[in-house]
Structure 1
């Protein structure tokens, strides 16, 4: 038998050994070829300061164990090894040692002064800072601790200290800053050394707000602080700090902003050094817990386009976030201008959705041969780039797109035979990549890019499958709690939009996101730390609900961007905002009660469970009829009641039946916004309407998940129709082609279509329950759980469904096959053959006497009618598609008697007769 510890884990950013706390959580992944392998114990060996510490673990615990050794001290370097024992008595070899470096500072150890340009001549002036220091002995270790209110990059003796970008990222700068802890031992040398720091404003100096209300929130100029700790082999310690002795100078970057872009004049160089100003200190920075932002990928030009107006536009084939890297040669003073946009509109660069964001970079050539340039302190959301001023003939090989985002480990994959759904999932992944850049933003391209709480609240489960977002969201939740005011969670975190106001489904991120981290990563630490934040938010909204236990009549975003909402009024949804609000009072109270129980806070668990039950009863009494109808007869209302478990079993089924009926009445087009979209498929599936969910998923007409795919989308759009069928950008003032919220459908693809989900927190027990969809030949999901890789795949084989699964060592799984058979299995590879569900009956004859429900359920007939009308009466064809209510009580003939004259009716009937003949 083969048994080994494949990986030792510790709470550190991806690709780093540096931990932010003296007692980091640790874990390990075991691999065994023995089926049903379970751990019975483990030994841990920590080497620190020449001392070996041992610890024994009994049982199967191997995920996020509390630190069992003496707490680490700043700059401690340790190695951790693990070996495990199986329930069969087999013992693994020791794992490879996992290096652990204490990246935090001791209390009071931060002594750096904060510096800035003394006499800036422009707003948010980019600059270079510098100092020198001498080294007079053998250096054992040199560590740089640095932060900025702004963004920076440091170099020692001309060499960059790391490969990160946009350090230290975005936090609520007035109250929380983050420092990097960088080992620069290899960069310091005996004798004189020079440190240079390039500095710009980025998030700290940006103007936030909408239209004329945009204004600075943090600073007008960037600030920087750092201290270098040099430890000599003879025991001496030398500290180099930012202070009044540093100097500053303008550099080649003449202007830089996240929204505006960056201007770089390569002729300037860095000169005219002058003393810096010591300014108000930044908050004492804490060690980083979130992943670094890095250059992740580089994409070549896919196509060079000459627009109708004669402009040169590059298409990179993928909507992405980053910037361009150019290789250019030309005369000194030549200016190359790069403009960015996500789409083309009628052949030209579509910049209207950017609003006030210029998204334009300019490079002025030095003229001394081949020059390579990439903007440093900005980023853009784009697929297309317009190039102006290029000297000579443009070779597309000289320009590439550099993709940047927070460097998280990829952990989840999905695939299927359905090509459009496969592309949909790919769009979800790219949407996450574009918006997980320091904070989870709503969009990456226009004059916004804010950490909207509602977006991440609905998307957190999807994100937690696709990437290891635990540290990323852990850091963001710290900011959320900082920005709460008397319990109220602001719309965006960090909050740059004024006083915090409460909004259902947005502020509820305080309760939902920590819960998701517990469910997906077994992260009880974050849940415990955020409990007070969760409780404070719940207390606020319970207070709003009053004695009636209904949150009514206040400002709400509601089911934001319901497809029927007018373009300029995205909150005017079919579902009452009061229904959404009260459902979320229940949701947060219920999650708070569950968190309290997990944390052993029994009295609070009982209190909030009681409140949740009171809200649930009030919701049902006010909004649900005895017969199973919602007062708002709309898909989101039904989905909330079903998925949040707010109704009993008898009414749940009635609600599900009505939800399915509404979905068909709407022609299997989506009718939900930000609140309903992530849960409607679960609501349909749980109430036995998988066929309806399938039709809804595979719909390609607008509005639907696949309509953007048919329009060439490579990310998820903010609006269902961000681009209209004629290639015109949606007329609303607010539209984006890279928003991940509506991509929350991917979590259902993973859990339900492929059938891979956690049955208990952190995947200690796995739920395997695939749902083969009609029209799909196969589907597969795999996920790097905290225990190792889990995988489920199903495929059709004649009249059977073949299900294959891989269960990681030290876990087991509950299996439900498509034919309903159930199994419980241990680790290893498994394969089952299941009877396929009977396909839907073949459609019968169609004609004027067919009901509209029969027509919409018969795709061939529906398409035939649309084609005939499109040829003869295009306007009526559009009305037929968009405005018909597909009722089982109205016939096609009755509808056409109102819409069509004799000749078009006869043409439709001839086409249907031909279809009947072909079928027979």
Structure 2
């Protein structure tokens, strides 16, 4: 019986890597075992050319390697040749000498590898015949003959613009909006497509549709055109390999033909118009007569920026049926998709007369009167127009645009005025970068589960090739600040390694000579160097490393990380204080002054806090990369910045000079106050929350860390109450208003049905969804150990803290395999279930457990299999285990003898929410079990006397008595 086996192999995060230019791609694998505490002790990896499926003569054979490394193993065989397919497989041995079978083979295929490998020319229609500035899309085609039996066919293609390829009348892939959006002047992706199955004997034809896309479409706040270049152009070469060993290239060159296509207009913001009367049937088939078409001309564009596809492709990942047909008070015919989504509508109709015009407008919400609301779109039209061709059956979805919407207003659909809109004629196609899902979270509160769904939908909608801020208005830009606050939540929920690899390479490409970082990447609007926004250049690579253990990306981004910190260091007259330049500050914080978007927290405090944080991360990155001298240099810089922060923003008695929630949050999260003063700062933060009736006032900077700052400093109950706050402002307020994605503003939709503002009011804006990171790591307790990244060493530490939640569970598909942490209260006992992948260990901290009352799968923890160590730690039992599935059980009432509440009798009294509210307002230190000497007996009696109208006197006197015993 096989005790250990390989369940998945990957190359550069993919099972099938098609078309890479990497010379040393990296391999990873996941294992499972029938035994607990299983570790890899050795592996053997083989790579061979695809035709050698038996691996009899591998190109690279590592032999048996005595190591536990199972992720990010770089290829070290003989040079990989361009345009070549390879297979790879692995087998492993565990610590007991058990050997696995060989894994199923993974696939790796190289691309062109070098810019000078491009033989094709960039082509565009003859500008004497077709105006290069015209709105209609271009159609390009050519025919070719197959001279024998083929073994394989590959297309390598890209465009200055966006393109779709067709071969013999069939699309060559499911990709949408290729080649994606990069910093085109520096980097442009090309795609590799396997088209072997589409080639036919004899005559063949290849064709392309070519639109503006991000390359030369109107983008940004100024509706600029020609952002990157005046010409739309196509570049393609097809490699055909025959079974006799010969090869043939089909290239874009002067032999191609060109025409205007059936899309008179397309734009990322404004939508698309499609005129089916202009279709040319069979235009990409070999027997099509293209004599009436025009010639093409070559365009002098460089191939130097071309790189193989790095990101996941954008694709349709889900389809959604409308849930409701509405006729609004204004007489609009509207379909409700039931979900705020990003993508397009696919429409079918039959028997419509030629020229019938159907218009679809897309919007996110209805106004308080029930009419569709377009105000927050600003100039973006988000409108699709379809002109019927008169066929018996017609079907259409936009090709070169996407919309953010839940509602669509339809006009002109045949019969809608008398019969309404048929729901089955409209389907929502969800578009985003096709990232595999890797995260799960659910708990006993369905409102929080909806919040988690909103977080996931917000990420899907805004991770469309770049991490955009919003998907509906005239913006859709890669804001650096949004990306850095959300990246940890994002990488938990979805496999984002290719996505952020591509985007971070663009961040580095767009970085200014002086080290400054633009507000948005790719940068089309100008503006740079705000704290918390520019810090994405440091925080994102570091977080990426924590999730994937990817030293290569960290090394690639290291110079960019340093340059950003060095840029800050060079600002102003105070080298350790950043108090110059423009900053977004705590953007959209609720404590902002009237008419301002920037919160009340001083921008110099925020800037200096991030200066300290980024310098620390650069020091840690340098240490990991073996750059000891630079690690010490940035450690000293970090220490100097921290000392300056304390001198400038912290009083000698431990008060933060700015009385805002965000100021306290940053001081705690970035370790900017003396350890002995953290209690004071944490208590002050808690008081700011409690005195605001358990509501937050934080914006983009403070919100992601707010609950961490509370939970990690003794105020987990307050953090949970914040999460569960349903009234404005709070995460569940939008849920209570029917939100299906995260809003840009806490009150994007006000309780009276009015809107915050038309100017900046996205209903799909993921930043505040960063609370997910805290939900997964603190409520469910699934966390990493920084010293062993990629979850090689896992920390399982659920914080229970309140009976408002009775169960929670999180799971994550890590580089090593599935990790799970779940707990539930059941019949007076706490049940904690943990799954640990092979080749990892987990430190499990069970708060409120006592060794003698703790069991695992019905046995004493001292008798359990898989245990490495067991001991007690403060109020918890600390168990270190190897791989396997574990179920721990212990009395639930022990939880209330922990630091979360002072003692058992008091905890019973504190089940009264009114009592908790009073005590958190007036004696939060006591409720959290610390600093009890700061509140006198007379003060406690005064609390009781003043609150008799809200809490029965007998109960309040009992609470006071219990507190006096502490």
**Worse overlay, 295-304 or 649-658:** 649-658
2:383 & 2:722 partners in 1: Cα distance? Answer: 39
1:843 & 1:813 partners in 2: Cα distance? Answer: 33
- Which residue of the partner structure matches residue 800 of structure 2? 772
Maintained 8 Å contact 1:14/1:409: no
Q: Does 1:328 align with 2:354?
A: no
- Which residue of the partner structure matches residue 300 of structure 2? 280
- Which residue of the partner structure matches residue 89 of structure 1? 97
Would the alpha carbon gap of residues 831 and 857 (structure 1) be closer, same or farther in structure 2, given more than 3 Å must change? Answer: farther
Residue among 781, 785, 802 paired with 2:814: 785
Q: Does 1:374 align with 2:423?
A: no
Maintained 8 Å contact 1:300/1:399: yes
**Worse overlay, 12-21 or 249-258:** 12-21
Question: Where does 1:816-895 land on structure 2 (aligned, <5 Å)?
Answer: 816-819=845-848, 820-836=876-892, 837-838=895-896, 840-842=907-909, 853=918
Shift of residue 846, structure 1, vs aligned partner: 12
1:349 & 1:474 partners in 2: Cα distance? Answer: 39
- Which residue of the partner structure matches residue 804 of structure 1? 833
Residue among 309, 320, 325 paired with 1:304: 325
Could you report, residue by residue, the CA deviation over 1:676-695 in whole angstroms, capped at 9, with x for unpaired residues? 11111111111101111111
Would the alpha carbon gap of residues 714 and 566 (structure 1) be closer, same or farther in structure 2, given more than 3 Å must change? Answer: farther
Shift of residue 773, structure 1, vs aligned partner: 4.3
Q: Does 1:654 align with 2:680?
A: yes
How many pairs does the alignment contain? Answer: 873
Would the alpha carbon gap of residues 598 and 124 (structure 1) be closer, same or farther in structure 2, given more than 3 Å must change? Answer: farther
1:786 & 1:303 partners in 2: Cα distance? Answer: 41
- Which residue of the partner structure matches residue 763 of structure 1? 791
- Which residue of the partner structure matches residue 843 of structure 2? 814
- Which residue of the partner structure matches residue 853 of structure 2? none
- Which residue of the partner structure matches residue 30 of structure 2? 29
Query: Helix, strand or coil: the match of 2:74?
Result: coil
2:495 & 2:249 partners in 1: Cα distance? Answer: 36
**Worse overlay, 199-208 or 360-369:** 199-208
1:463 & 1:549 partners in 2: Cα distance? Answer: 32
Shift of residue 813, structure 1, vs aligned partner: 0.4
Query: Helix, strand or coil: the match of 1:108?
Result: helix
1:13 & 1:303 partners in 2: Cα distance? Answer: 39
Question: Where does 1:5-16 land on structure 2 (aligned, <5 Å)?
Answer: 5-11=6-12, 16=17
- Which residue of the partner structure matches residue 746 of structure 1? 772
1:216 & 1:702 partners in 2: Cα distance? Answer: 43
Q: Does 1:670 align with 2:671?
A: no
Would the alpha carbon gap of residues 767 and 541 (structure 1) be closer, same or farther in structure 2, given more than 3 Å must change? Answer: same
Shift of residue 801, structure 1, vs aligned partner: 1.3
- Which residue of the partner structure matches residue 291 of structure 1? 312
- Which residue of the partner structure matches residue 473 of structure 1? 500
Shift of residue 22, structure 1, vs aligned partner: 2.2
Maintained 8 Å contact 1:12/1:18: no
Shift of residue 14, structure 1, vs aligned partner: 6.9
- Which residue of the partner structure matches residue 680 of structure 1? 706
Q: Does 1:118 align with 2:126?
A: yes
**Worse overlay, 101-110 or 349-358:** 101-110
Q: Does 1:317 align with 2:338?
A: yes
Q: Does 1:345 align with 2:361?
A: no
Maintained 8 Å contact 2:744/2:761: yes
Could you report, residue by residue, the CA deviation over 1:127-178 in whole angstroms, capped at 9, with x for unpaired residues? 1111122221222222111001211111111111111111110011222111
Would the alpha carbon gap of residues 136 and 563 (structure 1) be closer, same or farther in structure 2, given more than 3 Å must change? Answer: same
Residue among 581, 584, 603 paired with 2:610: 584
Give unpaired runs (5+ residues) of structure 2. Answer: 281-289, 849-875, 902-906, 924-938, 960-966
Would the alpha carbon gap of residues 914 and 640 (structure 1) be closer, same or farther in structure 2, given more than 3 Å must change? Answer: closer
1:497 & 1:34 partners in 2: Cα distance? Answer: 56
Maintained 8 Å contact 1:13/1:292: no
- Which residue of the partner structure matches residue 899 of structure 1? none
Residue among 146, 167, 170 paired with 2:157: 146
Give unpaired runs (5+ residues) of structure 1. Answer: 859-886, 896-907
- Which residue of the partner structure matches residue 249 of structure 2? 239
Query: Helix, strand or coil: the match of 2:193?
Result: strand
Q: Does 1:727 align with 2:753?
A: yes
2:716 & 2:920 partners in 1: Cα distance? Answer: 19
2:198 & 2:729 partners in 1: Cα distance? Answer: 56
- Which residue of the partner structure matches residue 639 of structure 1? 665
Shift of residue 845, structure 1, vs aligned partner: 10
Could you report, residue by residue, the CA deviation over 1:302-323 in whole angstroms, capped at 9, with x for unpaired residues? 1111100111111111111000
Maintained 8 Å contact 2:15/2:106: no
Query: Helix, strand or coil: the match of 1:603?
Result: helix
- The alignment's C-alpha RMSD in Å is 2.6
**Worse overlay, 263-272 or 654-663:** 263-272
Question: Where does 1:188-207 land on structure 2 (aligned, <5 Å)?
Answer: 188-207=199-218
Shift of residue 188, structure 1, vs aligned partner: 2.0
What TM-score results when the alignment is normalised by the length of structure 1?
0.91
Q: Does 1:611 align with 2:637?
A: yes
1:302 & 1:132 partners in 2: Cα distance? Answer: 45
1:777 & 1:175 partners in 2: Cα distance? Answer: 52
- Which residue of the partner structure matches residue 408 of structure 1? 435
Would the alpha carbon gap of residues 846 and 332 (structure 1) be closer, same or farther in structure 2, given more than 3 Å must change? Answer: closer
- Which residue of the partner structure matches residue 516 of structure 2? 488
- Which residue of the partner structure matches residue 901 of structure 1? none
Maintained 8 Å contact 2:112/2:118: no
**Worse overlay, 24-33 or 199-208:** 199-208
- Which residue of the partner structure matches residue 386 of structure 2? 363
Would the alpha carbon gap of residues 101 and 215 (structure 1) be closer, same or farther in structure 2, given more than 3 Å must change? Answer: closer
Query: Helix, strand or coil: the match of 2:109?
Result: strand
2:731 & 2:195 partners in 1: Cα distance? Answer: 48
Query: After TM superposition, where is structure 1 displaced by more than 6 Å over at least 4 residues in a row?
Result: 843-847, 855-858, 887-895, 911-917
Shift of residue 798, structure 1, vs aligned partner: 3.5
Maintained 8 Å contact 1:176/1:283: no
- Which residue of the partner structure matches residue 159 of structure 1? 170
Query: Helix, strand or coil: the match of 1:366?
Result: coil
1:189 & 1:846 partners in 2: Cα distance? Answer: 73
- Which residue of the partner structure matches residue 422 of structure 2? 395
Query: Helix, strand or coil: the match of 2:620?
Result: helix
Q: Does 1:444 align with 2:451?
A: no
1:824 & 1:298 partners in 2: Cα distance? Answer: 44
Maintained 8 Å contact 1:258/1:377: yes
Maintained 8 Å contact 2:141/2:205: yes
2:916 & 2:717 partners in 1: Cα distance? Answer: 19
1:259 & 1:411 partners in 2: Cα distance? Answer: 30
1:276 & 1:888 partners in 2: Cα distance? Answer: 86
Would the alpha carbon gap of residues 469 and 587 (structure 1) be closer, same or farther in structure 2, given more than 3 Å must change? Answer: same
Could you report, residue by residue, the CA deviation over 1:42-80 in whole angstroms, capped at 9, with x for unpaired residues? 111222264313113222110111213223111221111
Would the alpha carbon gap of residues 157 and 857 (structure 1) be closer, same or farther in structure 2, given more than 3 Å must change? Answer: farther
Residue among 81, 88, 93 paired with 1:80: 88
Could you report, residue by residue, the CA deviation over 1:799-827 in whole angstroms, capped at 9, with x for unpaired residues? 33111101111111001112211110111
- Which residue of the partner structure matches residue 225 of structure 1? 235
Maintained 8 Å contact 2:216/2:225: no
Shift of residue 726, structure 1, vs aligned partner: 1.1
Would the alpha carbon gap of residues 141 and 563 (structure 1) be closer, same or farther in structure 2, given more than 3 Å must change? Answer: same
Could you report, residue by residue, the CA deviation over 1:719-759 in whole angstroms, capped at 9, with x for unpaired residues? 11111111112125111001111100001111110011111
